[in-house]
Amino acid sequence: MNYFLRLSVLLVGLVVSAGSYAANTVQPLTTADDLGPKVEQPFEFPHNRHAGNADKGGMEINCMYCHTYARRSMVAGIPPVQKCIGCHQSIESVRETPRIKKLFEYWEAKKAIPWKKVHDLPEFVRFNHERHIQRFVFAQNKPVQEACGYCHGDVKTMTVARRQKPLSMGWCVSCHQKDHPVDATSTKTTHGPNDCWQCHK
Amino acid sequence: MSITNLLTNWSDFRQQHPSAAHPHREYKWAMSIDLDSCTGCNACSVACYAENNLPVVGKEKFAHGHSHHWMRIERYWDNDGREFADQGAQFLPMLCQHCESAPCETVCPVGATNHTADGLNSQVYNRCVGSRYCNANCPYKVRYFNWYNYPTTENVWPEPMNQQLNPDLSVRSKGVMEKCTFCVQRLRASMNDARTQGRLVIDGEVQTACQQVCPTGAITFGNLVDPSAKVGKQWKQQQVDLNIDKQPKDAEEKAAKLRGYRILEELRTYPSVMYLEQLRESAV
């Protein structure tokens, strides 16, 4: 009896460890430090140069200048090449650097840059950018980079964006359960919606 | 949502029909279906298939009861011995009644079906483990189980038909229960727009797919809390009250009886769908 019990414990242990090994080799959803996987992009986009603070050599461009749909749509959107060229055709100083050369190659070939998704949610989750931007940026007057940073981390210090937050359901709910002020001046607070059909449809 | 939170605030997650403690706030979605206008054309059912990514399962599986018609037309025949063509078919579109006190919600072992704050009976596919208790306990039999993995193994949407799938809601896989959602993806979209503009959803701003295609306009859908909504006016006119299980008007003997009724109301499910009885030749 005891022998069988030990054997079964051993077997269960083996199965569990094999399972966790298999899960780790695929792609960890959340690493120990909550950092997402490094995403290999066609060429490095320096977020820090564009959105970073001026004292660190950044341009302090509003996130929504490029990710323009965030305020009015479910998705934030990746800017078209046209958006990059719109500024870069008149910035002579960096015109001959390798990354900008590559950018203009795509532009002249009339091809979209195949950016890879960094903050990728499973297809059964429907996160709504508009609601969060409307609430935090427009109703509460929070700085854009702070509001975006709740979920996207400190993108303005990164070159290629990397996931910094777990983006798991428990993590979303941990914020939705807290009370937040309704707008910048009001003392009234309310928490985020927490019924399943807000995100899972 | 921690388990302690779930246990201490159980009543918040399992909302019963509105009481003094839990009244409906801005929204309570409800429907009314006029059976006198319904011609049984099945357009609503087809629209539902298109909108909600429902698999067409084929003759054989249909015969086994594996079909996925969230909106189905039930047929009833006059039972006075007449032959086929003159039998006088009556049609009844049957869909999830979004009961305020839903029998399916209380039996789910994993809490996959819940009541939302706006009065919808939600089904969460990710949480569903496929016990099918909910279907067994549903008096209307409007829950449909995925017996197969239709998108892959059964290949019901071969290339390029998968392009027609609605991206606003998930394509369900094997082993989960599904049912009418009152087109929740449309509701959420218009509630989102209204919220951004700092108002509530206006009556008629959002339509369910079945309502949109109904050629005779038999289906009315809207917010029961909104006093200007057509659906609320119809409920009031027919003296059907959401919160009671026995309508007082049914007890009265009236010459001109009101047509509004709710199906299996006496089971105290408090359904959100009101039907308007078909006027029969004998009654006219």
Strands (E) across A116-172 are located at none
pLDDT in tens, B217-265: 999 999 999 999 999 999 999 999 888 888 888 887 765 678 899 999 9
Mean of pLDDT values over A99-107: 94
Is A157 part of a structural domain of the chain? yes
Cα angle vertex B26, ends A150, A175, to 5°? 20
In a domain, residue A86? The reply is no
Q: Which residues of chain B lie closer than 8 angstroms to A170, CB-CB?
A: 1
How many folded domains does chain B comprise? 1
Contacts of A128 in chain B (CB under 8 A): 192
Q: Is residue B15 part of a domain?
A: no
* Cβ within 8 Å, pair B126-A198: no
To which H or E segment does residue B177 belong? strand B177-179
Phi, psi values for residue B219, rounded to 5°: -100, 130
Q: Please name the member of B5, B125, B184 whose beta carbon is closest to the beta carbon of A124.
A: B125
* B8 within domain boundaries: no
Which residues form the domain of B41?
25-276
- Name the minimum distance, in Å, from the CA of B34 to any CA of chain A: 28
Please indicate whether, in this complex, the C-beta atoms of B122 and A198 are within 8 angstroms of each other: no
d(CA B193, nearest CA chain A) in Å: 9
Q: Residue B217 in contact with residue B204, Cβ under 8 Å?
A: no
| CB spacing of B192 vs A194 below 8 angstroms | no
pLDDT at position B284: 47
Structural domain includes residue B53: yes
* Mean predicted confidence (pLDDT) in B161-183: 93
Out of B117, B126, B168, closest to residue A195 by CB: B117
**A22: pLDDT confidence band, cut at 50, 70 and 90?**
very low
- Mind listing the pLDDT tens digit for each residue in B84-118? 667 778 899 999 999 998 999 989 999 899 888 88
Q: CB count, 10 Å around CB of A31?
A: 12
To the nearest whole number, what is the mean pLDDT of chain B?
88
Is B5 part of any domain? Answer: no
B195/A131 Cβ within 8 A = yes
In chain B, which residues touch A (CB < 8 A)?
A: 1, 5, 114, 116-117, 120, 122, 124-127, 168-170, 181, 184-185, 188, 192, 195-196
The minimum CA-CA distance between A85 and chain B, rounded to whole Å, is: 31
Counted domains in chain A: 1
On whether residue B93 sits in a domain, the answer given is yes
Q: What is the pLDDT of residues A105-148, one digit of tens each?
A: 999 999 999 999 999 888 899 999 999 999 999 988 999 999 99
Task: Assign A23 a pLDDT band (cuts: 50, 70, 90).
Answer: very low
Report how far residue A52's alpha carbon sits from residue B246's, in angstroms, rounded to the nearest whole number.
65
Is B180 among the domain residues?
A: yes
Do the strands B29-34 and B273-276 form a parallel or antiparallel pair, or are they unpaired?
parallel
Residue B184 lies in a domain: yes
Under 8 Å between Cβ of B125 and B78: no
**Closest residue of chain A to B118, computed from CA coordinates:** A195
Domain for residue A123, yes or no? yes
Instruction: Please indicate, yes or no, if residue A146 is contained in any of the structural domains.
Output: yes
- Evaluate whether residue B6 is within a structural domain: no
- Whether A52 is in a domain gets the answer yes
- For residue A140, the enclosing domain spans 47-78+115-180
ipTM entry: 0.81
CA–CA gap between residue B236 and residue B28 (Å, rounded): 15
Residue A96 falls inside a structural domain: no
CATH code of the domain covering residue B59: 3.30.70.20
Distance between B164 CA and the closest CA of chain A, angstroms: 16
The number of C-beta contacts closer than 8 angstroms across A and B is 47
Nearest to B191 by CA among B205, B209, B170, B173: B205
Q: What is the pLDDT of residue B61?
A: 93
